[in-house]
Amino acid sequence: MLLGNRMNDAANKIKLVLVDDHGLFRDGIRAILTSYEDFEVVGEAGDGLEAIDRIQGLDPDIVLLDISMPNMNGLEACRRIKKINPNIKVIILTQFINKGYLATAVKNGAAGYVPKKAVASDLVSAIRVVCDGGFFLHPAVAKMLVGDYRNMIESDADEYDSLTNREREVLQLVAEGNTSRKIGKLLHIKERTVIGHRASLMKKLSIHNRADLVKYAIGKGLINIENPLH
């Protein structure tokens, strides 16, 4: 019975491969991970080409990949690993917190992105989340993305905030499919005044046709996305 339990424990371990061109770094990561009973480091590699060769005989659950390595970088290795075996999950473990690297990593199939400055518990959390089918972004990486998103929102808000109340009314009514004549009647203003407001708001928003105006209005939540036109 005891032997059976040991076999079950081995079968339930998360099998990991470490890929980094710095041996001392791999030693440190291995020491951390092997201190957990459910982790097993089944192999290591010093570059992307070696990693691809190793994983085909090891069948790991997760590969921890550095980005900057000789012979083949981690991003390209990630793409090839996922092509060889889509079931293998890849976590990028790197010193670079970079939007371009992150975008390429995600495009190439990575399921996690952790900077090397992270604490051990962050890496352990990443492995568990990814093993369970989730996607892990270290808080520093998530903060970078939120900052970019906030800047985008603020930039967009500045454009919208530049509109007058009347221009906002015209924007919504135009996006809903109303003619300038009808808008004039609804707002109790002359048709040529509506046309003037429409030209002004489109200039402020850098929009040049009604289709883009409708998309903008939907994005701002001004009209129903399911039925934008009357």
Last residue of a domain, one of 113, 145, 177: 145
Question: Are the C-beta atoms of 67 and 20 separated by less than 8 Å?
Answer: no
How many domains is the chain partitioned into structurally? 2
Domain-embedded: residue 229: no
217-227 pLDDT tens trace = 887 788 765 54
Q: How far is CA 217 from CA 22, 38, 200, 222, in A?
A: 52, 51, 16, 5
Q: Give the pLDDT confidence score for residue 46 in this predicted structure.
A: 95
Tell me the pLDDT band of 230, cut-offs 50, 70 and 90. Answer: very low
Tell me the pLDDT band of 2, cut-offs 50, 70 and 90. Answer: very low
In three-state form (DSSP H/G/I as H, E/B as E, the rest C), the secondary structure along 37-85 is CCEEEEEEECCHHHHHHHHHHHCCCEEEECCCCCCCCHHHHHHHHHHHC
What is the edge-to-edge ordering of all strands in the sheet holding 39-45? 39-45, 14-19, 62-65, 89-94, 112-115, 136-137
Evaluate if residue 89 carries a pLDDT over 50: yes
Domain-embedded: residue 120: yes
Q: Give the pLDDT confidence score for residue 98 in this predicted structure.
A: 83
Domain-embedded: residue 155: no
Q: Give the pLDDT confidence score for residue 141 in this predicted structure.
A: 83
Chain centroid to Cα 205, Å, comes to 27
- Shared domain for 121 and 199, answered yes or no, is no
- Shared domain for 201 and 140, answered yes or no, is no
Q: H/E element holding 91?
A: strand 89-94
Could you identify the residue written with the tokens 């085909």? 56
Beta bridge partners of 2: none
Q: Give the pLDDT confidence score for residue 82 in this predicted structure.
A: 96
The residues, any chain, with a CB within 8 Å of residue 224's CB and separated by 6 or more, are none
Mean pLDDT of 28-38: 95
152-187 pLDDT tens trace = 655 555 678 889 999 999 999 998 889 999 999 999
Mean pLDDT of 121-132: 95
Percent of the chain with pLDDT over 90: 63
Q: Give the pLDDT confidence score for residue 3 in this predicted structure.
A: 42
Evaluate if residue 105 carries a pLDDT over 80: yes
For residue 217, give the nearest of 184, 168, 152 by alpha carbon.
Answer: 168
Mean pLDDT of 73-94: 95
Evaluate if residue 7 carries a pLDDT over 50: no
Q: Give the pLDDT confidence score for residue 146 in this predicted structure.
A: 72
Q: Give the pLDDT confidence score for residue 228 in this predicted structure.
A: 43
Evaluate if residue 85 carries a pLDDT over 80: yes
Evaluate if residue 6 carries a pLDDT over 50: no
- Shared domain for 11 and 121, answered yes or no, is yes
Residue 17 corresponds to which tokens in the numbers above? 């491969």
- Shared domain for 35 and 101, answered yes or no, is yes
Domain-embedded: residue 123: yes
Regarding pTM above 0.85, the answer is no
Evaluate if residue 139 carries a pLDDT over 60: yes
Give the whole-angstrom CA distance, residue 143 versus residue 148.
9
Mean pLDDT of 37-58: 93
Angle, in degrees to the nearest 10, between helices 165-175 and 180-187: 130
Where residue 58 sits, what CATH number does that domain have? 3.40.50.2300
Q: Give the pLDDT confidence score for residue 153 in this predicted structure.
A: 58
The residues, any chain, with a CB within 8 Å of residue 26's CB and separated by 6 or more, are 18, 20, 44
Domain-embedded: residue 227: no
Cβ atoms within 10 Å, residue 107: 11
Range(s) of the domain holding residue 205: 162-219
